[in-house]
Amino acid sequence: MNNVEIYAQAIADSIAGSSAQGVTSWDDPEFGRVACKIVEPVIGNAEASEEYFEYMETDADNWANWIAQTFGEDWGRVARVVAEEGY
């Protein structure tokens, strides 16, 4: 697997059984719990982990779009809040 596949799988594992539906802002009481699943997934490969966190930090808008395309619009909305307002 390449690094993108590795961190995509780690996020899929992290969000399994969870929902981001209805979380629309940083002020939402569930925001921190939900955002943590995409911001701090446990990635067992150091190289993939470093690449993911660098992508998230240096290209936040594209990261948020990738989250939306890969995991659905509810998770993408949370990622956009993180990109715009922080975590």
Residues in the chain with pLDDT values less than 70: none
Report field, pTM of the whole predicted structure over 0.85: yes
> Which pair of structure tokens corresponds to residue 8?
């995509």
In the chain, domain spans: 3-16+24-85
> Which pair of structure tokens corresponds to residue 74?
């509810």
CA 2 to chain centre: 18
DSSP 3-state of 17: coil
pLDDT at 86: 84
Determine the Cα–Cα distance for residues 53 and 13; give it in Å rounded to an integer.
Answer: 17
Q: Which residues touch 68 (CB under 8 Å, ≥6 apart)?
A: 75, 76, 77, 79, 80
pLDDT at 77: 96
